[in-house]
A and B are shown apart, each in its own frame.
Chain A
């Protein structure tokens, strides 16, 4: 099974997140290796090196977020119930779900 990874902006990063791919600077030097667990003090260093995106291993959401996501997924599925097998509509459904999920508190 493929490893699940997620790309986030540096400002969304916080201590405890697990790095899923080597973070390198403009010249290819490794700043943080894959598997490293982020520490607060490293964030400033990454900013100094103009790193804007990080690839991380997604963390299991707490139960509350999990059920909110399930409700959202169900709502969006209902909204797109007439999509049939149109690939365009599947893509739009996914985009709307991601957008709404990002907006959830």
Chain B
């Protein structure tokens, strides 16, 4: 075992860059319907890389617009403030790590899965009256701790991957066996460093629901979305098979079966478009 301590991980993530301030402001204002279009557009204009990613998605076939959108203001008018706000936050989060392939780790598949869970949680959150943008961000961030391992501990993570295949277990179980801690704990440390709200930190820490502690509705929703995306093989075939869906989380997420299965195609379509956020 190549043990890593949570203290080492906390010190490591503390050295990572902060989130772009515009993204943090937007996220903290998810519940604020009063956000001015002009204010958003002005702040965004400071980060052209972010704007480019957002416009690439806005102009994707998913939205089916007849003309080209060239500015953030236009995107807000056509797609609505909520969609643009969500796209900006997603682009900022994804932009925090390089997306080019690193060794054998397929980062495109990683982000596709994360975007899948984000879209799925957003689509399924209506029944539990959660903010759809917050549900989206939780999905996007749920496995973020894995990126810290892939980028900063590549040798140790290669051992985790080998263990997964050799023992036919999930990455979570392999991380615990090889490293003595898992991506959920590391992810929670990272989102705390980024100053994400406490409810999002809880989701990242608890989305595997292995702890006895009662999970929040958002955590349950993210867990359900994660299992569904593994079942639909979004990103890649899940290593170690589709994880088992928690009955408690399923009950808490209050999703109808008919509603879920009728949305499989919609989930896949949304992911295709949102995947343009990845380089």
Contact = CB atoms under 8 A, between A and B. Distances in A.
A, B assembled together: yes
Interface of A: 78-84, 86, 88-89, 91-93, 95-96, 98-99
B196 interface: no
Interface-central residue, A81, A82, A98, by most chain B CB under 10 Å: A82
A93 B261 CA distance: 11
Contacts of B237: 79
B273 to A, nearest CB: 19
Interface in B100-149: none
B242 A82 contact: yes
A88 B231 CA distance: 12
11 contacts: A79-B238, A81-B241, A82-B240, A83-B244, A88-B247, A89-B244, A91-B257, A92-B227, A95-B257, A96-B232, A99-B261
Q: Which 5 A-B pairs have the closest CB atoms?
A: A82-B241, A95-B261, A81-B241, A99-B264, A88-B245
B231 A82 contact: no
B20 interface: no
Contacts of A99: 261, 264-265
Nearest to A78: B241
B233 interface: yes
Interface of B: 227-228, 231-233, 237-238, 240-245, 247, 250, 257, 260-261, 264-265
B209 to A, nearest CB: 13
Contact of A79 (B228, B242, B250): B242
Contacts of A81: 241
A96 B265 CA distance: 11
B255 to A, nearest CB: 11
Given A88-B250, A92-B227, A80 B232 contact: no
Given A79-B238, A82-B240, A95-B260, A89 B245 contact: yes
Contacts of B232: 96
B206 to A, nearest CB: 19
A80 B261 contact: no
A99 B228 CA distance: 13
Contacts of A88: 245, 247, 250
A60 B238 CA distance: 33
Given A83-B242, A83-B244, A86-B247, 7 more contacts: A79-B242, A80-B241, A81-B241, A84-B244, A88-B247, A92-B227, A93-B231
A86 B264 contact: no
A67 to B, nearest CB: 21
Given A92-B227, A96-B231, A82 B244 contact: yes
Nearest to A103: B265
B233 A82 contact: no
Contacts of B250: 88
A95 B233 CA distance: 14
B6 to A, nearest CB: 27
A79 B233 contact: yes
B233 A92 contact: no
Contacts of B241: 78-83
Contacts of B242: 79-80, 82-83, 89, 92
A95 B265 CA distance: 12
Contact of A86 (B233, B240, B245): B245
A7 to B, nearest CB: 13
Nearest to B237: A79
A89 B243 CA distance: 9
Contacts of B244: 82-84, 86, 89
